[in-house]
Structure 1
């Protein structure tokens, strides 16, 4: 087997996935990502309660839960550059300190206006930007044949959205929704301490480049394709994660706690499947995996747009589409390191930006569609159309990818 880089910088034979990289860093990346995602979507499960207290319109609710997604998308670009300039561990530390400080301030001062919720949303965007840190922090320790699994395990940290959906409404009922911001600081601080102890930057960290060099990757059309592909898979996942509590309370008159449980089930499905999506892409290729993902996701979103009267059927459709999109998230990041290994930091930021923009669009469009038409159906239909656009785009690039950079990879399927 091919030699790989070990945690102490020496060469070793690959004895399997768990021996191929640095396990403490992989665990630290997962925990950091998990807790960061928990607070990134915190406004989603709290939205029905906040909207009732502040008298928000459907459009305001949609924008409130979408702002953290947009802020996270923009900040991922910044983190992508910082990861390559100062390393992922240091970049992640800065982001965690900002989020902890921001949530502590929000809890201490109290949030009592719509503008205040938007300001909190911007702070939460720093948590969403963790994506551009956690994935390269973990992936740089692993050789190409294990990228899908490493990225999938680290990326499974998006399961933090399950924690937000499960516990935020319950804690808000017990202590008030402002107190939830302060309570979130407790696990965030614990993870920050572990992260400082366990996480290590890989010895294969690339040398820093001039900032202008990062713009060069935008000249590569493949970068734009990956941004589109992730804009659908991750954009759909995070957009729905932020919006489903509102959907279930508005559509079926569920309590915020019950809506949180339904949301948690759907989000758990998407999070659980992500590493399997990466592993499946390792086995059959990311292109084949994504072809199935976009076709199934598009069809399922069309079915959701019909607004089924049965809550059981509706929940089943959301479970299916979230699991499908979760597998797609893993598949996209099986491909990205193969094409852009030396620029993985900035590419993680760029592709994550595309995913964040997709999530912002979906969450905000559902709110505006509800206000303008009385139904969210139009929002779901348009996003289904984007899934089919991604499917067509994949068919356009797959032959070129396989015959160019894909052909140069030894034993790796794309």
Structure 2
């Protein structure tokens, strides 16, 4: 097996003989499979509710548990990556994470379902390993683009499952399985695919261009466990890490929340059918094919022009634009105008995610995994808090609307409830947009030393000279 000994300086996708490029493809596919399995149950929720008799509270709690599990897993997996390397971490995450995915196909009670949803959420930590692995495989001039592209293509799994899982279910039904239990077989299949991907990751990747962590530590080329601990403590004390934690809550966290509530909002506000609203939201999720890559690309470009400070300035601008687009969208009453700003929000939020991880690899090169884990967890914390915020506003408004129109008939009550939910979520989106703009301003506090700037400049020149820009 031929491997390159240096970081890749270009994203030459056809050069699979290069270890960085091969790793890019494998980690992107693994991430896609993890997101596909993580959200795989979503298209089947009506069948699950009917099969298991879930209450509305249990259904909502299952969503919250899936996000909660990911927060803790992301915090843990980053430190494990720094210690054991991404190859082993991804292998174990895929194989062990597949167990609850398969197990959910055999649940018989709501409690069993909730427990499986909690543990399935752990595979959302795959994002951290993906970002860590591409960060140490690609040189500074291209690392933002590589990180953003691998993450964006992986995120597609969270949208592609809306199309893919029903197709798997249809295939299962064609073999004579009853419609109402096809979701169980589909989840088992998704779990088996994830488990097989774990084996692929183990045999076809390595931790760094120079070799695996175990080998490098044996040769004295990596720090000891004690130094790992010291490095982790320095991460926790670094204010820049916590600013990026907030930033990722303001981009990825808001994307998850907005897309999770957008179906109902489009129906209540613009009178769209559920099918039409769902297809629109899916199309925005599919923008990850290119939008997140753009964020990393421009982060790298600004880095080339203005150094590390340039990366931060671009992040500030694109994050502020995201907040403005969401706030303006929340005030629109025309579907045509609303779609323009919703598309703009989708573009800027995904670019902000890519721009965030064009900065992360340069905060502390000795603890990229730990930093990626903390920042990645910020996204899920943001999603959790924003979802609870919107849920509380909407529930309060809907309850009051139903009480005020209780004597006017069922149709009038439904109309009042819909209008109340629309108004509550609209004001919620506006306030969330304001939070995002404020978060953007906090990024200006992120500073890098002159020594950091010179180190990156030297690394870029060294890698470009040694690899000729090919690998």
- The answer to whether TM tops 0.5 is yes
Q: What's the counterpart of residue 3 of structure 1?
A: none
Q: What's the counterpart of residue 136 of structure 2?
A: 140
Q: State whether residues 41 and 241 of structure 1, in contact with CA within 8 Å, keep that contact through their aligned partners in structure 2.
A: no
- Offset at residue 315 of structure 1 (A): 4.6
* Closer/same/farther in 2, CA of residues 371 and 381 from structure 1, 3 Å limit: same
**Residue 318 (structure 1) aligned with residue 342 (structure 2):** yes
Q: What's the counterpart of residue 317 of structure 2?
A: 292
* Closer/same/farther in 2, CA of residues 254 and 358 from structure 1, 3 Å limit: same
Q: Which moved more, 1:380-389 or 1:272-281?
A: 380-389
Q: State whether residues 134 and 154 of structure 1, in contact with CA within 8 Å, keep that contact through their aligned partners in structure 2.
A: yes
When normalised by structure 1's length, the TM-score is 0.84
Question: Given the alignment, which residue of 160, 164, 169 partners 1:163?
Answer: 160
**Residue 149 (structure 1) aligned with residue 145 (structure 2):** yes
Task: Provide the aligned C-alpha RMSD in A.
Answer: 3.2
When normalised by structure 2's length, the TM-score is 0.75
- Offset at residue 193 of structure 1 (A): 3.9
- Pairing of 1:87-98 with structure 2 (within 5 A): 87-98=85-96
Which of the pair has more CA radius of gyration? 2
Partner SS, residue 151 of structure 1: helix
Question: Given the alignment, which residue of 199, 205, 213 partners 1:199?
Answer: 205
Q: What's the counterpart of residue 232 of structure 1?
A: 250
- Structure 2 alignment gaps of length 5 or more: 174-178, 214-221, 303-309, 399-420, 461-471
Partners in 2 of 1:78 and 1:332 — Cα distance?
20
Partners in 2 of 1:120 and 1:222 — Cα distance?
35
Q: State whether residues 324 and 434 of structure 2, in contact with CA within 8 Å, keep that contact through their aligned partners in structure 1.
A: no
**Residue 370 (structure 1) aligned with residue 394 (structure 2):** yes
Task: Please list the CA deviations of residues 38-69 of structure 1 after superposition, one character each: whole Å capped at 9, or x if unmatched.
Answer: 22233544456656775644x76554323322
Partners in 2 of 1:154 and 1:238 — Cα distance?
18
Partner SS, residue 144 of structure 1: coil
Partners in 1 of 2:456 and 2:240 — Cα distance?
17
Partner SS, residue 448 of structure 2: helix
- Pairing of 1:388-399 with structure 2 (within 5 A): 388-397=437-446
Task: Please list the CA deviations of residues 142-190 of structure 1 after superposition, one character each: whole Å capped at 9, or x if unmatched.
Answer: 2222211221222121111121233346667874444442242254244
Q: State whether residues 4 and 19 of structure 2, in contact with CA within 8 Å, keep that contact through their aligned partners in structure 1.
A: no
Q: State whether residues 84 and 208 of structure 1, in contact with CA within 8 Å, keep that contact through their aligned partners in structure 2.
A: no
**Residue 209 (structure 1) aligned with residue 209 (structure 2):** no
Q: State whether residues 41 and 187 of structure 2, in contact with CA within 8 Å, keep that contact through their aligned partners in structure 1.
A: no
- Offset at residue 343 of structure 1 (A): 0.7
Partner SS, residue 457 of structure 2: coil
Partner SS, residue 456 of structure 2: coil
- Offset at residue 100 of structure 1 (A): 1.4
Q: What's the counterpart of residue 401 of structure 2?
A: none
Partner SS, residue 144 of structure 2: helix
